[in-house]
Amino acid sequence: MARARRFVRAALGDVAPELTDTAELLVSELVTNVVLHARTEAEVAVRVDGGTVRVRVGDGRPDRVLVPQGAPPYSGTGQGLPLVARLSSRHGVETGERGKTVWFELGPEGPPRYPQDWEPVAAPFGPGASVTLLDVPAALCSAAQQHRHTLLRETALAVAAGHDLGVPPQDLAVAQDMSNVITAAVAGALRRWPAGELVRSLPLALPPDAGPAVRTLRAVLDLAEEGARAEHLLTLPALPRQRLFQQWLLDQIAGQLAGVDPTAWTVVPGEPGAGPSEQAPWDAGQVAASRVPTIAADERNRIVAANGPAADLLGWNADDLVGRPLTALIPEHLRRRHLAAFTSLLLSGRPRILGRSVPLPALHRDGRLVPVRLVILPQETADGRTVFVAQLAPRASAPGPAAGPAGRARSASRREPDRSPSPGAGEDGRDQGRSDRSALERLTLLADTATALSNAPDLDGGLRDVGRILTRRLADWCAVDLFVDGAQVERVSITHRFPHGPRPERYGGLLPTVSDTARGPLARALRGAGPLLLSGPPSPGEVTSPLDAHYVGLFRTMGADSAVVAPLRARRQIIGALTIARRGGDRPFTEEDLPLVRDLVSSLALGVDSARLHQETRDIAERLQRSLLPVLPSDGPLRLAARYASSSATAQVGGDWYDTFVLPNGDTALVIGDVTGHNLDAAIAMSQLRSMLRGIAVDRQEPPDVVLRRLDMANHSLYPDATATCIYALVKSTGDGPWELVHSSAGHLPPLLIGPDGRARYLEDGSGLLLGVAPHRSRPRARHPIPAHTTVLLYTDGLIERRDESLDASLDRLRRHAAALAREPLDVFCDELLIGLGADSEDDIAVLALRPTPPHGSAGH
C-alpha cells in the first residue's frame, strides 16, 4: 500500500494537490481490498488527460466480485468502495478472464452532487443453490455483517504479524472468501427487498458446494471471537445478539445446503439479552412516545434518549438527561459495579443483566434512592450500531422483560410466526383489502390480537403488539384512544408499517377534550357511534373543535385515504376508540370490512377492560405493600438495610414482608415473613399478621418463641386456614461484649451470619413449624453472639429458590455470594444480593440485614 501511494504521488506530481490527495486515498483503499480479499498482486495505473485523473487498480481474481457494503462512517470495514463512489467523478469495474480492474476518475469539477452507487454484480457461480433466511431483522443483520468483516480483517492482520490465534492461514483465506460470497448474496437479496420492511425473508443464491466453507467460516469466527475477548485483536467481541445471529445465519446456510429445513430467526431461543425478542430497529421517537419509563444509552455509556415518564420518576427534565453519562442515574455505591459490568460486556461480549428483570435502586435528582426493576435490552440502529434501552418501573409494579421501544417479552411458549402473506396479500406481502376473507382467516386475526393483548405484561405493551399485528395484516396504521380520568382521552398507542415514513408521535399522549362542540368522527365514536367508514380525512365542516382538528392533523400526517373508526365498549360504557387506516386509493376499506372491525373492537375492548381491572387490583396491593414497609432506624450502633422486590414473573404483590422496630426495653426487633400467595388476599393477610405481631411484641416484650406462639394462636383463631412462615428476632446489647441475637423461626429459611472475614454460616437452631399448623405447641429459641462488623441476613425464599435446583444448592449459592460481600457497606451488600440473585425471580423478595458497630460507636464497615 505504501508503494502504491508513493507511485500515485510521483505520477501526479504536477496535478492539483487536492486531486493528488484524493487519488492517493482511493488507491490505498482499493489496494487494501486486493490484499485482504483477492490476495494477489495489485497492478496500479495512473494517467492524466486534460485535467482529469484516471486511475486503474487490478488484481488476479476475476471470480471475486465486488461487495459494496454501504458501511456507515464509524464502521471499521467496508468503506473503500463507498469512498470511491462518493469522491470520484466516475467509477466502474471491468472483469476479464485473468483478473478484474476497478477504475475511477477525478475531474477538476469535483465529484457529482448525487454520486451513483456501484452497480450490483451477479454471482460468478450462476444461479447456485437456494437458501432462505426467514424473518431477518435488517438492523441486526447489518450490525452482524459489519462485525464479521471487522473480525476477519483484524484476524488477517494479526496472523500476518505473526500472532498465533489458532487460525490456519488456509482456513482464514477460505473464511474471508466465504464471508464475501455471503455478503454479496445478502446484498443482492436486499436490493429486491421492499423499502420500509423491517423483517424480511431473504432468498439467497449460493454455491451448491459451499457447505464446508461455511463451516470453516464459523470455526474461524469462533476463534476470532476468543482472540477479541483475550484482547489480541484491535476490535471488541460481538455483543450477545450479534453473536447469536451470526451463528444462526451460518448454521442456516450450512444446514439448508445439506437439506435441512429452514428455521426462522424469530423462534431461536437464546440467553437473556441475546434472543430475538425485538425486530424493529432503534428509534428515539418510540422512546418519546412510550408511557413506560425508558432511558437509552450508547456504547460510550452516554444517555441518548429519555422519555417524560422516566424523567418524572427520577426528577429530571427529559432534555436535560440527554448527553449525560448514565452514571448520573446510578447511586454512588453502585457506580463502580456498573462501570465494571459495562466494560466487561464490551470487552467480553458476555452479559450479566441484559434481558433480565433486575431489582435495584436508581438515583433521584434530589439524591434519594428510587427502588425500581430494571430491564435492559440491546437494540441495533438502522445503520448497525448498538443502543442499550433500559425500562424502569417502581419496584412494586415491576414488569418482566417487557414491552416498549426496547423490546417486548416473549410468551413462555414461542410460536412459529406466520410467514405466509396475509389474507388477500399481493407479491409484497401486503394486504390488498379483499373482502373475501375466509372465516378461518378472520378468526385467526381475532385470536392473534386477543393473545397478544393477554400475553403482554402490561396494557401499553399489549396494545403495541396488537398494533403491529393490525398494521401487518389489515391496515397501514392504527391508533387506540382510551378514556382516562373521566372525560380526558389519551392516545395510548399509534402504530404504522412505514418506519421511515411520517412521524406521528406528536399526535400521541393526551388529546384535546371531547367538548360538546366536537362533531368529527373520533368524537362521534367516543360517544358510541360506529364503526364509521371514512373515505378520506374528515371534511372541513366536521372540524368544529380542537379534538377534530387534532384528528385531521393525524390523518394528513399519515396520508390516510380510507379508514374505519369504531368505539370500544366494555360493561355498557365507552372506554375508547380504535382507528385503522390505509394509504393508497387502490385498496380502500369498504362496508364489507365493518363486521370484522366490530368483532375486533369487541375483543379489544374486553382485553383492555380486563387489563385495567387487573391493574387496579394490583395498584391497591402495591399501595398496601408500600404503606407497610417500615422506616429503618438510622441512629445508634446498629446499622440496618432492607430491600423489597415484587415478582418479575407475576408483577404482583404477595405476602413477603420485613419489619424492624425498637421495643420499650431498648431491644431491636427484626421480623421477616412470607404468607402463602401472590395476590391482594396475600397482601391483606400479611398486613394483618404484621399488625398482630407488632402489638403482641410491644405489649408483652417476651422472648421470640413465646411471641411467635401467641401470634400463631391469634392467627389460628381469626384466620384458621391461613399459613405463613416467620422469623422473630431480638438484638440485645450486652454492655461491653458483643451484641446478641435471640430468635425463633416458624418454618422460615435460617438466618445467615457473615463475619467480616467472609466466613458465613446458617443459624439452623431455633427452627419450628410454620404458623397455622400447631398453634399451641411450644417453639424453640436460639441465642448467638454477634461480634462487631458481623452481618445478620434475613431473607425470603424468592431470593434463592429456583425450580430446577435443590434447596441445599440454593442456600450454598447465597452463602458464597454473601460471603464475597462481607466487607461491603450494607446498602451495597443488599443491592448486590438482589442484582446477583434476585434477577428474574418468580417470587417476591424481602431482605433485611443488620450489622453492629463496636461499642464505642466507630462507623466500621
**Structure confidence by residue, pLDDT tens digits, 450-496:** 888 887 777 888 888 898 899 888 898 899 999 987 778 999 888 88
Residue 572 clears pLDDT 70, i.e. is over it: yes
Say which DSSP state 14 is in: T
Among all chains, which residue has been given the C-alpha cell 437464546?
A: 270
pLDDT of residue 486: 73
Which residues touch 858 (CB under 8 Å, ≥6 apart)? none
Output the pLDDT for position 47. 92
Check whether 197 has a pLDDT greater than 90: no
CA distance 730 to 306: 46
Give the span between the Cα atoms of 513 and 508, in whole angstroms.
14
pLDDT score for 278: 53
Which residue did the predictor score with more confidence, 267 or 76? 267
Q: Which stretch of 2-6, 75-79, 372-376 has the lowest confidence by average pLDDT?
A: 75-79
Of the two residues 303 and 505, the one the predictor is more confident about is: 303
Residue 355 has pLDDT above 70, yes or no: yes
Instruction: Give this prediction's pTM.
Output: 0.68
Query: Which one of 49-53, 608-612, 745-749 scores highest in mean pLDDT?
Result: 745-749
Q: How does residue 397 score in pLDDT terms, banded at 50, 70 and 90? A: very low
Read off the pLDDT band of 253 (50, 70, 90): very high
- Residues of the chain above pLDDT 90, percent: 36
pLDDT for 425 beyond 50: no
Q: What's the one-letter identity of residue 565?
A: V
Average pLDDT, whole number, for the chain?
83
Confidence of residue 6 (pLDDT cuts 50, 70, 90): very high
For 133-160, the pLDDT digits (tens) are: 988 888 888 889 889 988 998 999 899 8
Q: Return the pLDDT at 404.
A: 35
Burial class (CB in 10 A: 0-12, 13-18, 19+), 720: exposed
**End-to-end distance of the chain based on CA atoms, in angstroms?**
60
C-alpha cell of residue 308: 417524560
**pLDDT tens digits for 696-714?**
999 989 999 999 999 999 9
Judged by average pLDDT, the poorest of 270-279, 350-359, 387-396 is 270-279
Q: Is 311 left (phi over 0), alpha (psi -120 to 50) or beta?
A: alpha
Average pLDDT for 22-44: 89
Amino acid at the residue 158? A
Cell readout for 566 is 369504531
**Most confidently modeled range among 192-201, 550-559, 614-623, 666-675:** 666-675
Over residues 240-247, the mean pLDDT reads 90
Cell of 71: 458501511
740, 732 contact by CB (below 8 A): yes
pLDDT bin (cut points 50, 70, 90) of residue 271 is low
